[in-house]
Chain A
Amino acid sequence: MNAAIITFPGSNCDYDCYKAITDVLGRSARFVWHRETGLGETDLVILPGGFSYGDYLRAGAIARFSPIMDAVQRFAADGGIVLGICNGFQVLCEAGMLPGALIRNESLKFLGRTVHVRVENADTAFSNAYETGQVLEMHIAHGDGNYVADEDTLDMLESTGRVVFRYVTGSGLVTAAANPNGSMRSIAGIINEGGNVLGLMPHPERSVEALLGSADGLGVFASLDAHLSGEAVQATAGER
């Protein structure tokens, strides 16, 4: 794994992602400033959390037009793996790389605490280290995490296994009280049709060691590492 972590003005979880990948997982990562136009050698692009451009206009709306985003879109179109966390999820929705949008939390409050999410689909590049139905504890830190989409889009996401994480109680039940921000169908994370772009509001990079309160998020990075090393075997054997 050789991750490219995109830093926008206002990103504030870029170092957390870097530490999770390098210190905890022992893989390589580097930062790519948003003014760059190329990603360099990489097999994973991370759009980290934060408040790119101060969330002006709408969260993620302006970062979407940063110079690096053309390269990110091309990378994803070629099947490259892209992980958007929190503000990164908002950027992916604004860029049309994932359906729907994230609006103000129903409570209007900024929420910084842990929540429980259930793995709804463990058969993805981002979740293969987990089991479907497994309940994880992860941090959230957002004011605009309320996922919305039209009913047809929601039904399509559900029926095609594209809801990957859902807010639940500690015992794994979907309830209104366990949904921190009012997200439709308690959606916490979704994947694109190609299975190579995932956005989620919780912060796996903040939940990678017991010292941080939970190590449950490490599985996202471990999943990607396993997936990418599998890919590497295919690449040497295969078409490219």
Chain B
Amino acid sequence: MKEYDIEVRISPRQGLLDPQGKAIHSALHSLEFDEVESVRVGRLLRLKLLADSTEGARAAADDMCRKLLANPVTEDYEIAIGAGA
């Protein structure tokens, strides 16, 4: 078993209203950052986990996303894996 560092990035589904992103967008505009076209707010989770292989680590993280970390109705997720110690 090897330790893997995993980053799970969760973001609101494309096309779905993101009220937080919208509010931050208008705050940026009021600071005169007029070049900002859109803002979406998500979550970043950093996990350390033990697995036999990169594939195993990815499969475990994917399972966690589907069962708990992301809501498939409203959120998309991406998994990035780096080898740990």
Interface residues on A, range: 20 to 34
A148 surroundings in chain B (CB, below 8 A)? 16-17, 73-74
Q: Which of A57, A62, A100 lies in contact with B73, CB distance below 8 A?
A: A100
Cβ contact within 8 Å between B19 and A105: yes
Query: What's the tally of chain B residues with a CB closer than 8 Å to chain A?
Result: 11
B39 within 8 A of A: no
A229 within 8 A of B: no
Question: What are the 10 closest A-B residue pairs judged by CB atoms, nearest first?
Answer: A101-B73, A101-B74, A104-B19, A108-B19, A106-B19, A108-B23, A101-B71, A103-B74, A58-B71, A148-B74
A110 within 8 A of B: no
CB distance from B49 to the nearest CB of A (A): 18
Chain B, residues 1-35, CB within 8 Å of chain A (1/0): the string is 00000000000100011011001000000000000
A103 surroundings in chain B (CB, below 8 A)? 12, 16-17, 19, 74
* Cα distance A16–B52 in the bound complex, in angstroms: 51
A146 within 8 A of B: yes
B23 surroundings in chain A (CB, below 8 A)? 108
A94 surroundings in chain B (CB, below 8 A)? 71
A212 within 8 A of B: no
Cβ contact within 8 Å between A108 and B20: yes
Q: Which of B20, B68, B71, B73 lies in contact with A104, CB distance below 8 A?
A: B20
Q: Which residues of B33-85 are within 8 A (CB) of A?
A: 68-69, 71, 73-74
- 15 A-B interface contacts by CB (under 8 A): A65-B68, A93-B73, A99-B73, A100-B73, A101-B74, A103-B12, A103-B16, A104-B20, A105-B19, A106-B17, A107-B19, A146-B17, A149-B73, A150-B73, A182-B17
Does more than half of chain B's interface fall in helix, strand or loop, or is it mixed? mixed
> Given A101-B73, A101-B74, A149-B73, does the pair A57, B19 have CB atoms closer than 8 Å?
no
Nearest B-chain residue to A153, judged by Cβ: B73
> Given A107-B19, A182-B19, does the pair A61, B73 have CB atoms closer than 8 Å?
no
Residue with the highest number of chain A CB atoms closer than 10 Å, among B12, B16, B73 = B73
Q: Which residues of A213-230 are within 8 A (CB) of B?
A: none
CB distance from A115 to the nearest CB of B (A): 18
Q: Which of B12, B16, B69, B74 lies in contact with A57, CB distance below 8 A?
A: B69
* Cα distance A107–B17 in the bound complex, in angstroms: 11
B19 surroundings in chain A (CB, below 8 A)? 103-108, 146, 182
Chain A, residues 60-78, CB within 8 Å of chain B (1/0): the string is 0110010000000000000
B73 surroundings in chain A (CB, below 8 A)? 93, 99-101, 148-150
* Cα distance A150–B23 in the bound complex, in angstroms: 23
B20 surroundings in chain A (CB, below 8 A)? 104, 108
A100 surroundings in chain B (CB, below 8 A)? 73
B12 surroundings in chain A (CB, below 8 A)? 103
Q: Which residues of A144-161 are within 8 A (CB) of B?
A: 146, 148-150
